[in-house]
Amino acid sequence: MPDKRTILSGNGVGDDVAIGSSFFYAHSLDTPIYKIEEDDIEEEYKRFDEAVNKSIEEIKLLQMNADNNIKNILSIHILMLQDKVIEKQVKEEVKNKLFNIEHIYDTIISEYLEKLSSINNKMLSERSSDIIDIKTRLIKNLIQPNSAYYFQVPKNSIVIAKTLTPSDVLKFNNIGAEGFIVESGGYTSHTAILAKSFGIAIIFNITDISSKIKNGKKIIIDCKSNIVIMNPSKKDINNYTMLSDKIKKFKEKSILDAKEKAVTKDNIEIKINANIDIPEETESLLKYGIDSIGLYRTEFLYMFSDEEIITELPTEEAQFEVYKYIASKIKGKVIIRTLDIGGDKISPALGLDFKEDNPFLGWRAIRFCLQNKKLFKDQIKALLRASHYGNIEIMIPMISTLEEIEDTKKFIEDVKEELKKENQNFNENIKIGVLIETPSAAEIIDLIVKEADFLSIGSNDLVQYMMACDRTNEKLTYLYNPIDISVLRTLKKIINTANENNKPIALCGEMAGVPEYTPVLLGLGIREFSMPIKSISAVKNIIRNVSIEECRNLVNEMLEKCSNSFSKSSLYNFRKKFNI
Instruction: List interacting residues with ligand PEP (CB under 6 A).
Output: 295, 297, 340, 437, 458-461, 508-509
Q: Determine, following the binding rule CB under 5 A, whether residue 342 of this chain makes contact with Mg ion.
A: no
Contacts of residue 561, Cβ cutoff 8 Å, sequence gap at least 6: 567
Instruction: State the nearest-atom distance from the C-beta of 371 to ligand PEP, in Å.
Output: 19
DSSP 36-91: --GGGHHHHHHHHHHHHHHHHHHHHHHHHTS-HHHHHHHHHHHHHHT-HHHHHHHH
List the one residue from 437, 510, 528, 550 that touches Mg ion (CB under 5 A). 437
Q: Determine, following the binding rule CB under 5 A, whether residue 343 of this chain makes contact with Mg ion.
A: no
Measured distance CA(317)–CA(311) in Å, rounded: 17
Contact 349, 312 (CB under 8 A): yes
Q: Determine, following the binding rule CB under 5 A, whether residue 510 of this chain makes contact with Mg ion.
A: no
Q: Among residues 223, 369, 469, 508, which one is catalytic?
A: 508
> CB under 5 to 8 A by kind: which of Mg ion, ligand PEP, none does 106 bind?
none
551 phi and psi angles, rounded to 5 deg: -65, -40
Instruction: State the nearest-atom distance from the C-beta of 409 to Mg ion, in Å.
Output: 20
DSSP 440-504: HHHHTHHHHHHH-SEEEE-HHHHHHHHTT--TT-GGGTTT--TT-HHHHHHHHHHHHHHHHTT--
Q: Determine, following the binding rule CB under 5 A, whether residue 461 of this chain makes contact with Mg ion.
A: yes
Please state whether 423 falls in left (phi above 0), alpha (psi between -120 and 50) or beta: left
Measured distance CA(535)–CA(546) in Å, rounded: 18
> CB under 5 to 8 A by kind: which of ligand PEP, Mg ion, none does 519 bind?
none
Whichever of 400 and 460 has its CB closer to ligand PEP, that residue is 460
Instruction: State the nearest-atom distance from the C-beta of 285 to Mg ion, in Å.
Output: 21
Count, residues near Mg ion per rule CB under 5 A? 3
Q: Among residues 77, 103, 190, 469, which one is catalytic?
A: 190
H helices of 119-232, in order, are 122-143, 166-174, 190-198, 209-212
Whichever of 17 and 293 has its CB closer to ligand PEP, that residue is 293
Q: Determine, following the binding rule CB under 5 A, whether residue 294 of this chain makes contact with Mg ion.
A: no
> CB under 5 to 8 A by kind: which of ligand PEP, Mg ion, none does 459 bind?
ligand PEP
Instruction: State the nearest-atom distance from the C-beta of 202 to Mg ion, in Å.
Output: 19
> CB under 5 to 8 A by kind: which of Mg ion, ligand PEP, none does 297 bind?
ligand PEP
> CB under 5 to 8 A by kind: which of Mg ion, ligand PEP, none does 162 bind?
none
Whichever of 109 and 301 has its CB closer to ligand PEP, that residue is 301
Residues 471-490 that bind Mg ion (CB under 5 A): none
15 phi and psi angles, rounded to 5 deg: -115, 10
Whichever of 433 and 509 has its CB closer to ligand PEP, that residue is 509
Whichever of 44 and 277 has its CB closer to ligand PEP, that residue is 277
> CB under 5 to 8 A by kind: which of Mg ion, ligand PEP, none does 508 bind?
ligand PEP
- Please give the DSSP secondary-structure letter assigned to residue 392: E
Among 336, 315, 324, 302, residue whose Cα is nearest residue 530: 336
DSSP 131-151: HHHHHHHHHHHHHSTT-SSGG
Measured distance CA(59)–CA(141) in Å, rounded: 12
Contact 188, 460 (CB under 8 A): yes
Q: Map residue 233 onto helix, strand or coil.
A: coil
Stretch that binds Mg ion, among 117-125, 459-467, 525-533, 555-563 (CB under 5 A): 459-467
Q: Determine, following the binding rule CB under 5 A, whether residue 44 of this chain makes contact with Mg ion.
A: no
Contact 161, 169 (CB under 8 A): no
Q: Are strands 218-222 and 528-532 parallel, antiparallel or unpaired?
A: unpaired
> CB under 5 to 8 A by kind: which of Mg ion, ligand PEP, none does 509 bind?
ligand PEP
190: annotated active-site residue: yes
Contact 371, 324 (CB under 8 A): no
Instruction: State the nearest-atom distance from the C-beta of 471 to ligand PEP, in Å.
Output: 8
Instruction: State the nearest-atom distance from the C-beta of 367 to ligand PEP, in Å.
Output: 14
77: annotated active-site residue: no
* Per-residue interface string for the shown chain with Mg ion, residues 187-226, x marking contact by CB under 5 A: ----------------------------------------
Task: Indicate which residues carry an active-site annotation.
Answer: 190, 508
Interacting residues toward Mg ion by CB under 5 A: 437, 458, 461
